[in-house]
Structure formats: C-alpha cells, structure tokens
Amino acid sequence: MDIKDAFALHPQLETDRLRLRKISFKDLADMHAYTTSKKVTKYIPFPTHKSIEDTRKFIDYVLEQYHIQKKLFWGVELKETQTLIGTIEFVSLDLIHNKAEIAYLLSDCYWGKGIMSEAAAEIIKFGFQTLQLTRIEARTFKENIASQKVLEKVGMTFEGTLRKSQFLKGRYQDINIFSILSEDCCESQ
C-alpha cells in the first residue's frame, strides 16, 4: 500500500485490546469526556475543551482532514467496551523525506496500563511496514515524563531538547524530540 492508498482507505488497525479506527460524530460524548480534563490536555497544543461545541468543532476538523487526505488520524477504541478513549495520529507526513511525526492523547482513566504504548507500537509498525517510512518521530513537552516513557517503551531514542521551541500554554516550551528508524523496528515482526 502506498501513501495515497493509505489516505484513501485509512485502514482500521487492531491490537489485542484496541481498535484504531476513524473518528465520527458517534464519538462526541466519549471524546468530550476526556478533552475537558485539564489533566489530560496539560501537555498538548490545543486548549482544554470548555463545551460540547468545542469537541464538535474538533471532530469537524478531523473529518475535514480525512476528506482532504491530509492526516492519518485514528480514534483509540477499547475493544472490550467499544469506548473511544483517545486518539493517535501521524500529525505530519513528509513524503519527500519519507518520515512522519506521531502525536497522541489518552483519557487519564487509562493511564499507566500500557494502552498508548500498544497503540503507538501499532502505528509505528504500520508506518514502517505499510507506508515504508524511514523515520518516525515524536515531540513532547520536556516536563511530560509519562509521554517520554511511552516513546522509550516503543523503541524511540531521545535526540535532544529544542529549547523554547514553541509558544504553547502561555509560555515558551522546551520540547524533547524522539525518533525511531525503520532499521530499529519491526525486523522480527
């Protein structure tokens, strides 16, 4: 499958516990439940949702990205309950340099259970095996230790800190960057 096909088909992916699938308006209540938590949104670029309309606008944005084939964006659904508990995406795909950047968000009810590591590992495998990427990277706020542990758990390497790299959440933030290369991953899978 090439990248054009990936955008067109936007395949559903599955792990033991998770279904990674397209977002829809049926996810509005589930998504709103965790995007209104300041604890959950502390280390992400968008503001905490204050109303159901904020969440509806975000889903509109995601649906538009599907339509224009700009991003590969998955909802993280817990198979057991069929509940949307987070999101994961290739926030950018650079076809010239054959690389991507992942980003994710997870309801705090599911932190510390290995769920985001499971989802991230599946997205990384998809990126290397299906899209044939060479490099996948991720960025985190320097203070976001939990996210950095997820990245290390899936085999990413810390590359450094981009000091005062982005103005987010009312101040300049130091951003840590991690990466994994195709030769580092998926050889035995």
Q: Are 72 and 93 in contact (CB under 8 A)?
A: yes
CA distance 69 to 10: 9
pLDDT value of position 186: 63
Please name the residue ranges forming H helices in 20-173: 28-35, 38-41, 52-68, 115-125, 145-153
96 Cβ neighbours under 8 A, 6+ residues apart: none
- Best mean pLDDT range from 123-132, 149-158, 166-175: 149-158
Model confidence at 1, pLDDT cuts 50, 70, 90, reads: low
Model confidence at 125, pLDDT cuts 50, 70, 90, reads: very high
What is the SS3 assignment for 97?
A: coil
Model confidence at 8, pLDDT cuts 50, 70, 90, reads: low
Residue 25 has pLDDT above 80, yes or no: yes
Residue 2 has pLDDT above 70, yes or no: no
CA distance 14 to 17: 8
pLDDT value of position 170: 86
pTM: predicted TM-score of the whole model, two decimal places: 0.91
Residue 4 has pLDDT above 80, yes or no: no
pLDDT value of position 130: 87
Tokens of 105: 């968000």
User: pLDDT of 54-109, one tens digit each?
Assistant: 999 999 999 998 888 878 899 999 999 999 999 999 998 887 899 999 999 999 99
Neighbours of 167 (CB within 10 A): 9
67 Cβ neighbours under 8 A, 6+ residues apart: none
pLDDT value of position 189: 41
Mean pLDDT of 157-171: 92
Could you tell me the CA-to-CA distances from 30 to 5, 35, 69, 117, 120 in Å, in that order? 29, 9, 24, 20, 20
Tokens of 81: 């309950």
* Listed residue (61, 57, 118) closest to 85, CA to CA: 118
